[in-house]
Amino acid sequence: MAEPSAATQSPSISSSSSGAEPSAPGGGGSPGGCPALGTKSCSSSCADSFVSSSSSQPVSLFSTSQVHDLIFWRDVKKTGFVFGTTLIMLLSLAAFSVISVVSYLILALLSVTISFRVYKSVIQAVQKSEEGHPFKAYLDVDITLSSEAFHNYMNAAMVHINRALKLIIRLFLVEDLVDSLKLAVFMWLMTYVGAVFNGITLLILAELLIFSVPIVYEKYKTQIDHYVGIARDQTKSIVEKIQAKLPGIAKKKAE
């Protein structure tokens, strides 16, 4: 039988290790703390607890705060790099085919990496140094996607897919006549847009709006909210009048 004093020791210490010393004060009682079991045991215990705690949470490539900081130009260099790169790529796609753009991008990347690799090899040969491969740190990075992370991505995607399918069925099967009419009017307007712009042009315009509208709205938020509120009230009154004149459609309650 265990001694009464053993209850004060760390619960992770087995009863057979009678010679082990109790954990340091505050180490066993704090959540996620590692007992004084040596470097190897502590590392494995902390790693197991980290994996078990992070496995239940969905994994995302970009957090909401990162996207927010990007489109609001919090870091001018990072946002400028992303904006310039994507804009140049879209402009290239507008002038050349997708195959040509992808081929030129790969050739440019290979030219940079091969030139740097040859340059470092020549420098090492002249200086007789043994620095090794210049991209050794990047080659050793583990970029494998675990099955758990893959399932997390798929679960997150399925939530949006199911929501989109439900919305499509709701609109095309005319659950709400007003919403279906809104979609019909919007698609009718898009036919005129498609006659003037192609898909790449719309993507270019969308990128310009994404990287300009948020920062403008942040600066002139009060004035924009005032005019948007006026337009929303007028649109709401027009929709209520249309709903009242349509037969068989109940008038929606004001929110």
Confidence (pLDDT) at 27: 43
Is residue 33 within 8 Å of 24, Cβ to Cβ?
no
Length of the chain: 255
Write the pLDDT tens digit of every residue in 152-188.
999 999 999 999 999 999 999 999 888 999 999 999 9
Nearest-10 Cα torsion for 25, 26, 28, 34? -100
* Residue 176 CB partners (closer than 8 Å, separation 6+): 170
Q: Which two tokens stand for residue 169?
A: 């069925």
User: pLDDT tens for residues 91-120?
Assistant: 998 888 889 999 999 999 999 999 999 998
Question: Whole-number mean pLDDT of the chain?
Answer: 76
pTM (2 d.p.): 0.54
SS3 of residue 98 by DSSP: helix
Radius of gyration, alpha carbons of the chain: 30
Rounded to whole angstroms, the Cα distance separating 35 from 12 reads 7
Q: How confident is the model at residue 34 (pLDDT cuts 50, 70, 90)?
A: very low
Is 172 in contact with 180 (CB distance < 8 Å)? Answer: yes
Contact 117, 134 (CB under 8 A): yes
For 131-143, the three-class secondary structure string (H helix, E strand, C coil) is CCCCCHHHHCCCC
d(Cα 235, Cα 232) in Å, to the nearest integer?
5
Query: If we measure between CA atoms, which residue out of 213, 215, 204, 206 comes closest to residue 69?
Result: 215
Query: Residue 224 half-sphere exposure, CB side, CA atoms within 13 Å?
Result: 9
The owner of tokens 């703390």 is 33
Q: Give Cα separations from 107 to 110, 119, 181 (angstroms).
A: 5, 18, 49
The pLDDT value given to residue 21: 41
